[in-house]
A and B are shown apart, each in its own frame.
Chain A
């Protein structure tokens, strides 16, 4: 039972369903004459709970693939690295600005996730990050983060505008 993907998937959504039902209850159900803000949440939460319970029960009965089978032979480390890189990107985006962040992201992905020769990865990363910055900032006039940390750094302050 504990090794089945269906069981864990169903359990996760059951938790979400119960949470939505509870939130709907807190938001006020209103009456049928005048449904309140939580009316749809409450009933949808119950609907979700019922569906996910049926999936959980099916998993508990041994239906569906094993959890381990979902990642058998997969290069899951790549997925973890990309997610981690994106989170770091999100955290540093405002502080380092678009150009440095995207350059670092591209170089990281092309060096560690699915390696590309440096003679390709470096010029492509440079051209892409500076090129996209130029098109968005100068041509389309889209405001991108300039990097609050760069404002006082010599030679890099041009990036911060």
Chain B
């Protein structure tokens, strides 16, 4: 099936009234959780995962995808108006976006972030549409050793790019694999770390773990501080950027789009890293870098484009290889599996309706987002005024409901409470949750491919070295593992971490 006929079939799916409604609900909820600090796309997607069961697979996944890219749009509103990132990828937008707002230029800051996001989002969809079929053809040749090495590379990249200690990030990845393997052994059905509890035989659910580590832990971290919000009180004014603004932003949007897309495709990369990299690049390329941090529109346009392009790019490894490059894609993988679908090289030929339907719905969703974001800014500002002391009990209740509904078991609620406390303590002690969750999802695949490879090679590790794709992935992983030991590279990594913290 060629791209054009695939896309035509996709648009037929996307324009189905039910799917249009799901897409709208997805982008609307995505924008809402992007706007609200304290609840991000990860919590929202885990919360709504059980709801998708009532519809067709394509409807559910269209909604989940909409939440993801919708939150990228919404996050910028909070960043510009309140100086609090609605979600992690908007941290950079706070720097110049809020400065612009304080100088009475909130309108153009919001306008350029919506336009930049639209351009980047559209580019990412076109690239996904063109690159995915080619990559899927290559991916058919992947065997267990290639999959194993690629997953090792993904986890290593994520650990390398985390803010703090790499040893802690790798430790969390190892913990994630262990937790992911709890339950029956896939090969010989032996129960592992189940402690004779029937609830653990099927393993620990993704939703309670994610809701605990991200939802509950975020609430616990927030309620121990006094949250203060400085909402910009002056009029937001016209959202349409001036001709000078558009001229100054064109380059950053183009560069941010390309960079974001490439980083999004990379396993372990994602929207957060893309936005930081774009900001650093724009500052370096600028003739007047001193304007950055004082309300430079390039500092809003580049990162906003980058995080949206990365959000689109991240679908490629998931759809073509079946490997989620980040936590959000891991949740989306969970949604596919719940609906009995397995993303991977055969997805396009076996389930063209789902694949092309999702691609086409992203076009539709992007247009919906532009329409939602431009005229509804005033409504989002009102949402932002809701005090956190009222929001957090409600979010907590939704977390409980979401977790219970996902498995219909009180045990899952206790898993969520336990992982919530663990996530809160991990934040305190400087351990990141992202490598743990990604490894939790990849763990069973990782073990399966490792054991299959060893059985195939009759116990020889040579199988990982003689295959070109496998050795290339492992070589990069090893380089990243030893990189922090090299003084020059260590400095560079620490600088990235410092930029992120600042």
Contacts and interface: CB of A to CB of B under 8 A. Distances in A.
Chain A bound to chain B: yes
Interface in A42-98: 44-45, 47-48, 51-52, 54-55, 64, 70-71, 74-76, 78-79, 82-83, 86-87, 89-90, 93-94, 98
Contacts of A86: 216, 396, 400, 413, 417, 420
Nearest to B388: A114
A159 to B, nearest CB: 16
Contacts of A143: 408
Contact of B181 (A40, A64, A74, A109): A40
Interface residues on A, range: 35 or more
A79 B224 contact: yes
A87 B187 CA distance: 36
Contacts of B486: none
Contact of A70 (B405, B429, B459): B429
A145 interface: yes
Contacts of A126: none
A63 B16 CA distance: 59
Interface string B137-165: 00000000000000000000000000001
Contact of A33 (B190, B408, B459): B459
Contacts of B413: 86, 89-90, 93
A75 B393 contact: no
Contacts of A94: 410
A76 B451 CA distance: 45
Nearest to B439: A44
Contacts of A44: 174, 177-178
Of B170, B187, B190, B397, which is in contact with the most chain A CB atoms at under 10 Å from its CB?
A: B397
B455 interface: yes
B20 to A, nearest CB: 20
B400 A82 contact: no
A115 interface: yes
Nearest to B190: A37
Nearest to B189: A37
Contacts of A89: 400, 413
A113 B223 contact: yes
B51 interface: yes
Given A40-B447, A51-B167, A75-B224, A27 B397 contact: no
Given A93-B413, A109-B392, A129-B397, A75 B424 contact: no
12 contacts: A16-B175, A32-B459, A32-B460, A40-B450, A71-B428, A75-B225, A76-B224, A120-B390, A136-B405, A140-B51, A141-B54, A144-B401
Given A5-B428, A41-B181, A55-B171, 14 more contacts: A13-B175, A33-B454, A33-B459, A40-B177, A40-B446, A40-B450, A79-B224, A86-B417, A102-B400, A105-B400, A109-B393, A114-B223, A140-B54, A142-B405
Interface of B: 50-51, 54, 165, 167-168, 170-171, 174-175, 177-178, 181, 185, 187-188, 190, 192-193, 216, 219-220, 223-226, 387-390, 392-394, 396-398, 400-401, 404-405, 408, 410, 413-414, 417, 420-421, 424, 428-431, 446-447, 450-451, 454-455, 458-460
Interface of A: 5-6, 8-9, 13, 16, 20, 23, 27, 31-35, 37-41, 44-45, 47-48, 51-52, 54-55, 64, 70-71, 74-76, 78-79, 82-83, 86-87, 89-90, 93-94, 98, 102, 105-106, 109-110, 113-116, 120, 124-125, 128-129, 132, 136, 140-145
